[in-house]
Amino acid sequence: MQLCKALVLTLTLAACQPAPPRIGGPAGTCDAGAYSSLIGKPLAAVTLPAGLDLRVIEPDTAVTQEFRASRLNLRLDRQGRIEMVYCG
């Protein structure tokens, strides 16, 4: 019985974990793979297309958890460099 309870608790906790960011993907997504070359560059030094569905995430910034396939997320490090590019 204890094993069963432990298994249920483990599965419940695993279900609460956020999904990993999606990179690239089928048509209709943000095509993050096309922007992967930006990783390591300062945000101030990059030019992005006008009208891009973009979210810039600075360190210690709270963000909403809804997934929008068309939105490109740029996560910055403390020096303002892009450290992660993903859809969502």
Q: For 30-84, what is each residue's pLDDT tens digit?
A: 999 999 999 999 999 999 999 999 999 999 999 999 999 999 999 999 999 999 9
Q: How confident is the model at residue 29 (pLDDT cuts 50, 70, 90)?
A: confident
Rounded Cα–Cα distance for residues 49 and 13 (Å) = 40
Look at residue 12 and tell me whether its pLDDT is greater than 90. no
Q: What's the pTM?
A: 0.68
Tell me the torsion sign for CA atoms 20, 53, 35, 28.
Answer: positive
pLDDT at 83: 97
pLDDT of residue 27: 55
Helix (H) or strand (E) holding 82: strand 82-87
CATH number (3.30.30.60, 3.30.10.10, 1.20.1580.10, 1.20.1250.20) of 22-87 reads: 3.30.10.10
